[in-house]
Amino acid sequence: MKKTTTSVLVILFCLYFDDIYAQNLNIGLSAGYDNVNIHVIPELSSLVKQPYGHRNSFNINCSISYRSRGIFGFSVEPGFIQKGASISKSRLEFNDLQLPLLADVYVLHKFCLSIGPEFSYMISAKIVNPIPPYTDDLSHRYNKFELSGLIGVNYMITKDIGIRISYNHGLTNIDKLPVYGDKWEVVRWVNLYNQYMQVKLCIRIQTIEF
């Protein structure tokens, strides 16, 4: 029994040793569901109704990831995402080009943690009202460039198909709004930051080992 256990441990160690010394470059595509919102900082008083709510959105990205001879790697994921929020029955739509630059830590063979900055450029911004239907262009109002932080967990379901669950929050604001007092004087300013939760499907198109 002891000999069998030792043999199993040796085999597992060899498989793991072989895996951590295999480096590769993966090229793929990803797309997913985003729950987006605008975070107001500092928080508004409980007496003031929060103007922004969550809404559903999406993203589409290319992916280039590199895994070194060990547990570390990095990923570059240029793509498109629609950020924003809901306002009553209307919705804010921010159409952004995004570039996440992520450090990857492979905790297990199929499981890794990702963290890093995301750079975004706002192509357009608009508010869409369903009833009565109208659209108003707000591109002039918001900051075009945004820096945010992302953290996520990745799991490979098969060799070429995986999922990621991640959270992103702005580090630079997209706008400032005044808060007025009883006499309509400006008592303070609040900053608006994009934030989103994301669940996306990742597909490897090509793997280059070396």
Domains of the chain, earliest start first: 23-209 (2.40.160.20)
**Which pLDDT belongs to residue 45?**
61
pLDDT at 135 over 50: yes
Q: Torsions phi, psi of 77, nearest 5?
A: -135, 75
* Cβ atoms of residues 157 and 163 within 8 Å: yes
Cα torsion 50, 192, 93, 181: sign? positive
pLDDT at 191 over 70: yes
Query: How many of the other CB atoms lie within 10 Å of CB of 157?
Result: 11
How far is it, in rounded angstroms, from Cα 188 to Cα 190? 7
Share of the chain above pLDDT 90, in %: 66
pLDDT at 15 over 50: no
Q: Mean pLDDT, to the nearest integer, of 123-146?
A: 92
How far is it, in rounded angstroms, from Cα 78 to Cα 102? 11
pLDDT at 11 over 50: no
Residue 188 — pLDDT band, cuts 50, 70, 90?
confident
pLDDT at 153 over 60: yes
**Which pLDDT belongs to residue 5?**
58
pTM of the model: 0.83
Q: Torsions phi, psi of 3, nearest 5?
A: -65, -40
Q: pLDDT tens digits for 38-81?
A: 999 987 765 456 789 999 999 999 999 999 888 999 999 999 99
